[in-house]
Structure 1
């Protein structure tokens, strides 16, 4: 009788363990607000420690020649997961095929200056946590526009915290950080590309990391702009 009971319990335990493991992995990209904020290592070391999420991103940092920035400087980094980079490169290759041109098979074929210019839009000097940013309301930008910040590459990006509603009370719910791309500086509150943060306030030893939600983002914000920059700069041969 005991043996039969154990046989019934074991599958349930295995399923529970599997679900728990999946939740641990998924919560990193979704808005659970549950994670250990401190990391005993630099931002670059933090990214390298999570290859399932950031292996391609780490390669881009290397190709861009920005390893020292992530290793030695004090920065705030809105980390785009590797899947967002893959989506933009895939769009680039679709464009190249339509043009009858060779596709990109290695990240190194895209020139370092393109990677650096694009990656720099996610990097800001100094350490800034969610509490340091102003309120953002994407439906009422005139009242709550967030704020413009100079990125590492000196492009102005908009950053703000969305206050969600709760129990019918406006702005009483959980708060979510957003990084926004401004397509037209003459109309800074129009057509913003708003990217939500899934995990905020991760604290390595040389700054702060906010992980962007991968489903909502293509690397470079405006994929057509990224493609234009790559093609204009010239694609290097695969060998």
Structure 2
């Protein structure tokens, strides 16, 4: 038990070295964003170091700056905490197989970063109002819409219409379906042959939508409910298979 605790403390400290600025701001979703920003998508990501510092490093490593700066682009931006969780899982896997952990993001092959970051990028600009309704518990009625990401991955985008729940009297509630606030989701499709089945999609909710820039739009993902790459084991296996870059 003591060995397990020490190992977890080691990995926790290691994440601080990898991702640099471990500030309290990381534990507040994505803060307050301006709806219009006088700059490109990359300019905005670079400016918000409190949330996207490691994301900007990944963008540089996989050379996707020019793609995110082209006219008409939608970017579902994963926060640094989402990247941190993926790297932590990678180091756990490396530890269990007797290999050294990584200390910097550039120890993962750039091709792996590019493959998985491309899942979050879409040609053309899609605001929340442009995306159809999704009900993850009733996909046959409200399935959202299938989209192909910049990297060619089959994904699903949809807006979840929450219910309004009002307490009429003690222990008695009135529920109005789909009348509440709307939240944008991006989902990885595990099984394209049976999208409506349970577990066929891995959903990532958006914390702040419609951050409009001079060349496109950013939707900032809710980091508490998302790990970079959607399926952690896929990212981990890809990084190990491609080969860790030890210095």
Q: Residue 30 of structure 2: which of 28, 47, 65 is its match?
A: 28
Q: Residue 163 of structure 2: which of 144, 162, 165 is its match?
A: 165
1:97 aligns with 2:106: no
For 1:95, what is the secondary structure of its paired residue?
Answer: helix
Q: CA deviation at 1:27?
A: 6.4
Cross-structure match for 1:185: 192
Deviations 1:99-138, CA, capped at 9 Å, x for gaps: 0011111111111110000000000001100000010001
2-side partners of 1:87 and 1:206: how far apart?
30
2-side partners of 1:186 and 1:206: how far apart?
35
User: Max radius of gyration: which structure?
Assistant: 1
For 1:69, what is the secondary structure of its paired residue?
Answer: helix
Cα distance, 1:67–1:35 mapped onto 2, change above 3 Å: closer
For 2:176, what is the secondary structure of its paired residue?
Answer: coil
For 2:228, what is the secondary structure of its paired residue?
Answer: coil
Q: Residue 44 of structure 1: which of 42, 45, 49 is its match?
A: 42
Structure 1 length-normalised TM: 0.85
Q: Greater share of strand residues, 1 or 2? A: 2
Query: CA contact under 8 A between 2:188 and 2:230: conserved in structure 1?
Result: yes
2-side partners of 1:137 and 1:198: how far apart?
17
For 2:238, what is the secondary structure of its paired residue?
Answer: helix
Q: Structure 2 stretches of 5 or more lacking a match?
A: 1-23, 166-174
For 2:69, what is the secondary structure of its paired residue?
Answer: helix
Cross-structure match for 1:148: 146
Query: CA contact under 8 A between 2:186 and 2:203: conserved in structure 1?
Result: yes
2-side partners of 1:173 and 1:218: how far apart?
26
For 2:57, what is the secondary structure of its paired residue?
Answer: helix
Q: CA deviation at 1:35?
A: 4.1
Alignment root-mean-square deviation, CA: 1.7
For 1:52, what is the secondary structure of its paired residue?
Answer: helix
For 1:127, what is the secondary structure of its paired residue?
Answer: coil
For 1:72, what is the secondary structure of its paired residue?
Answer: coil
2-side partners of 1:139 and 1:231: how far apart?
35
2-side partners of 1:28 and 1:110: how far apart?
26
Query: CA contact under 8 A between 2:29 and 2:222: conserved in structure 1?
Result: no
Q: Structure 1 stretches of 5 or more lacking a match?
A: 1-21
Aligned residues: 212
Q: CA deviation at 1:46?
A: 0.2
Cross-structure match for 1:206: 215
Q: Residue 106 of structure 1: which of 104, 107, 110 is its match?
A: 104
